Structure 1
Amino acid sequence: MRKSRIFLYVILFVILLGIFYFWMVKPANKQTTTTTSISNSQVIDEAFQLIKKEAVFAKKENILVEGAIRGMAEALEDPHSTYLTKEEALAQESSLAEERVGIGVEITQSGGKFVVVSPLKDSPAYRAGLKPQDEIVRVNGEKLDGKSMAELVKMLSGEKGTSLKMTVYRSSEERHVELHMKREVIAMHTVSSEVYEAEDFSIGIVTISIFGEKTGEEWAKQTKALVDRGIDGLLIDVRGNPGGYLYSVSSIVSTLLENGKTFAYMQDANGVLEMLNTESKEKPYLNKIPAVLLQNGGSASASEVLAGALKDNNRAMIVGETSYGKGTVQESHPLSNGGKLKISTHKWLTPKQEWIHHKGIQADLKVEPEELYTMDIKYPHGEFRVGDFGEEIKYVQNVLRALGYNIGRKDGYFDEDTMDGVEKYRQERSLEPSSEIDDVLFQSISKTLMEYKTRKENDKQLQMGISYLVHEMKK
């Protein structure tokens, strides 16, 4: 009897334990397997959870979400629609801003080295004594080996008034120099101008580097000063200008065309056209002056809007090469994580309703620049002799060939012809006799190339534009 009771108690205990399990343990397990929804799409949520649970190379949730956004932007197959992280969005805004905080220096990356092109005049870098061709090797004691240009820019950026220590290698003096400076607000000018005299005519040359926040105001200031000086013709240079804000183009066009003239059309995703007309409170003060616009393959977007407006309204002669061919307009939408989604929302058309996407705007007068004029100035270092191979040697070969020296190779292999060219160049430039390529030769070649590019007589496109203006002004 007692045994049967014990057995009964055991059975009751097992039953109670089972009830406890199903009521207490199961809900807890169910709760732990509940998935977090990150979208209204079931398949996206499924993929998100699988990656989090199964992937060997696990990533943080914010990285996965950003990757999904990038993927959606890439699926549009539009190179101008993209996702920007918080840092990338700030960098893009800064590139078009009127002012930036920094030290004011232009830097290029050559052979893994960061070389100063030039410090901006009166900038912290300029006052600290930074010179062209200085190689930046440390920033605040941190070596730059393996760093990217973006990483260097971040290291040079900071709050206004903060100090920065920079170590550079000055090859002309064969020594390292330590410089100290403080970050300041640097005014970013996007418009520059000068007067060029040609056959008793004064021609105003206005260069627009990008269409930023204050480009319209800068344009007005510069061009009104040119008009006050009595210019007879106007040459607008947008070569290499990647674009920018459309409202800046509008303000510039309004000084060149009569009020009410159509300078472009906007077309939305439904095909609805919106006419964009010039609108100015003051009378256009440049509309009677003969004008030329210089462009090349690097002139894109807003630069092409300007070119199309002037060409279709028969306001200016377009000189140079076919432009880039970007016929879309992007809008940036802020996201809750601080990033931005930039997507193409409109097509823009010329006043004759032509869509120039992937076609570009043809130049009225086609002019190809000289090979030497288009070469990038580099600042390599090292010593090389016959039998060596490298990009540094290739740079020397290409420059010497363009200068007229009899060099057969241009692939970076140091052969006998290259040696002969080097020896002849050294002799003609009064350099120390040698058959080697060294830092002295590199500096001389880069200086020669820079001097060539700064002489306006070597700019065939500019000279053609000036010749056309002189012809028009003589009528």
Structure 2
Amino acid sequence: MKQIVKLFLVVIITAAAASSITWLVANQQNSPAVSASDDQKFNKLMSTYEKISKQYYEKVDDQKLVDGAIKGMVEALGDPYSTYMDQEEASGFQQNISSSFEGIGAQVEEKNGQILIVAPLKGSPAEEAGLKPHDQILKVDDKSVEGMNVNEAVTHIRGEKGTNVKLVLNRAGVGQVEVTIKRDTIPIETVYSKLTDNKIGEIQITSFSESTSSELTKAIDELKQKGAKGFVLDLRNNPGGLMDQAISMSNIFVDKGKTIMQVESKDGQKEVIKAEEDKSVSEPVVVLVNEGTASAAEIMAAALHQSSDIPIVGQKTFGKGTIQQPEQYSDGSSVKITIAKWLTPDGSWIHEKGIQPDVKSELPDYASLPYLDPEKEYKQGDSGNDIKVVQQMLNALGYKVTANSLFDEKTEEAVKAFQSDNGLTEDGVIKSDTTSGIMAKLQEKLAKNDSQMKEALDVLKKEM
């Protein structure tokens, strides 16, 4: 490979902390050394440190001063993907590439000073609670996240299995949503596959971890053995992962010598990463994306589209086009700095723009309805936005009511009808099992009426 590719060993791309592509330096022998004693600016920094240490009226923690100085320098870059992590935050960051971790299973990032959901992981408590891409986190357990960087926010959100965390979110078009989520062990299982009756292999890739490439290869082989005639690669709500996995997985669908991605350094120099082996999939393929498709997932989508003419279906992707390099200090803390841009095969930079699909497709409106807390109770006479959400859910399930934000007599009748149909106590009150039942039925309906997947299958059939 060329110079930049040789200089860096791809290690992590994780949106759990910052939806970032991360490269680890493998050889730093040629890195320029910086001498603080030779630089007046660093003398100024040391002078301030000494002044605080000697003259501040209370005893100070030297480590906190050093951490604060580093954090301040990194924050001065104005780049949400460059960050300093103390020991606790760095430990959480490292967990993102392990086989499992304890938390809610939501990938988050910082953008324009806001802490946003990139995507919930498949089967996670965050997905079950209805978290959506671009939900803005306002509070964690009644503590405002304003002023926090993404790693600080993640530290508050994560916790031991079985404990609860309360999030206050702002959702576009809905307003504030309050969600209580029980933390759990989040396994990093990344590839799910099935064969349709029409011999089409549906493959969902939820992130790019250490084993994803081998998982994908195994899934494709098994589907082929069952007679698969084409594949839909579902990258929806995939926040990224290991970059080397994204490259090797793209090579499965991109012929040897064709471009997978480009890397542009700060001096404008571009290095091209090309497929090193002949592709192993010759069957027709379609890629399915949405606004939660980010970073390494965007690398793969763009590579398959531009270098193998594979169509993309769904919604515009997230738009993350920079590369970060982490470095760990001896005390366990670390710093992660943006060092380059990544470009699509044709040289486009999709940062904050995303990738536009060839065929646009949206999910039904009820797919974006917010989560309802089963511990809350809603009954006749109540009013407010939560009641309107209840009414919209009932309508989506076929129990027709007017979504007027008032829990009126007709709404109560619809609730009793739902309870009767599902073997629940017919009291007309929405709480506990009734709330959970309504949301479970909505998820079942969405799974059966996945309009985006249906569109992708229709496009694939035209390619076959």
How high is the TM-score relative to the length of structure 2? 0.70
Distance 1:324 1:382, change over 3 A: closer
Is 1:229 aligned to residue 226 of structure 2? Answer: yes
Match of 2:462 among 438, 454, 471: 471
Distance in 1 separating the partners of 2:285 and 2:59: 59
Taking a change above 3 Å as real, the CA distance of residues 422 and 319 of structure 1, as seen in their structure-2 partners, is: farther
The Cα shift of 1:207 comes to 0.9
The 3-state SS of whatever aligns with 1:204 is strand
Retained in 2: the 8 A contact 1:420–1:435? no
Counterparts in 2 of 1:451 and 1:406: CA distance versus 1, 3 Å: same
TM-superposed CA distance for 1:399, in Å, is 2.3
Secondary structure class of the residue paired with 1:407? coil
Aligned to 2:189: 189
Is 2:324 the partner of 1:327? no
* CA spacing shift, 1:441–1:155, aligned 2, 3 Å: closer
Q: 1:393 to 1:150 in 2, by over 3 A?
A: farther
Tell me whether 1:355 sits opposite 2:328 in the alignment: no
User: Given the alignment, which residue of 209, 215, 222 partners 1:218?
Assistant: 215
User: What are the within-5 Å matches in structure 2 for residues 20-419 of structure 1?
Assistant: 41-52=42-53, 60-97=61-98, 99-100=99-100, 150=155, 153-156=158-161, 188-197=188-197, 201-280=198-277, 283-286=278-281, 288-375=282-369, 377-388=371-382, 393=387, 395-403=389-397, 405-410=400-405, 415-417=406-408, 419=409
CA distance in 1, matches of 2:104, 2:338: 33
Secondary structure in 1 matching 2:199: strand
| Structure 1 match to 2:416 | 426
State the alpha-carbon separation in 2 of the partners of residues 433 and 439 from structure 1. Answer: 13
**2:382 and 2:407 in contact (8 A); partners too:** no
Amino acid at match of 2:189: H
Q: Distance in 2 between matches of 1:409 and 1:66?
A: 52
> Aligned partners of 1:119, 1:429: CA distance in 2, in Å?
28
SS of equivalent to 1:90: helix
Structure 2: which amino acid aligns with 1:451?
A: E
Residues paired across the two proteins, number? 372
Alpha-carbon offset, residue 206 of structure 1:
0.9
**3-state SS of the aligned residue for 2:232?**
strand
- Any conservation in 2 of the 1:325–1:356 contact (CA below 8 Å)? yes
Are the counterparts in 2 of residues 400 and 407 from structure 1 also a CA contact under 8 Å?
no
Contact 2:234 2:288 in 1 (8 A): yes
Aligned to 2:116: none
SS in 2 for 1:155: coil
Give me the whole-angstrom Cα distance separating, in 2, the residues matched to 1:406 and 1:437.
15
Offset of 1:152 from its aligned partner? Answer: 7.8
1-structure distance, mates of 2:361, 2:123: 31
Task: Give, in angstroms, the shift of residue 296 of structure 1.
Answer: 0.7
Change (3 A) 1:387 1:49: farther
- Give the C-alpha shift of residue 52 in structure 1: 4.5
Which stretch shows the higher mean deviation, 146-155 or 68-77?
146-155
* Alpha-carbon contact 2:322-2:341 (below 8 Å) kept: yes
Distance 2:370 2:260 in 1: 34
Q: Residue type of the partner of 2:67? A: E
The amino acid that maps onto 1:260 is: G
Conservation of the 8 A alpha-carbon contact between 1:257 and 1:315: no
- Rounded Cα–Cα distance in structure 2 between residues aligned with 1:439 and 1:54: 58
Normalized per residue, the structure richer in helix is 1
Aligned to 1:443: 436
Q: Structure 1 residue aligned with 2:453, among 444, 457, 462? A: 462
Structure-1 separation of matches of 2:215 and 2:203 = 11
Per-residue deviation at 1:389?
A: 5.7
What is the identity, as a one-letter code, of the residue corresponding to 1:100? Answer: S
Paired with 2:384 and 2:64, the residues of 1 have a C-alpha distance of 39
Q: Any gaps of 5 or more consecutive residues in structure 2?
A: 1-39, 108-119, 130-140, 144-152, 165-183
**In the TM superposition, what is the alpha-carbon distance from 1:398 to its structure 2 partner?**
4.3
In the TM superposition, residue 299 of structure 1 has moved relative to its aligned partner by 0.7
How far has the Cα of 1:228 moved from its partner? 1.7
Q: Secondary structure at the match of 1:41?
A: helix
Change in Cα spacing, 1:79 to 1:152, as seen in structure 2 (3 Å) is closer
Q: 1:271 to 1:152 in 2, by over 3 A?
A: closer
Q: What secondary structure is seen at the aligned counterpart in 2 of 1:274?
A: strand
TM-superposed CA distance for 1:64, in Å, is 2.4
TM-score (norm 1): 0.69
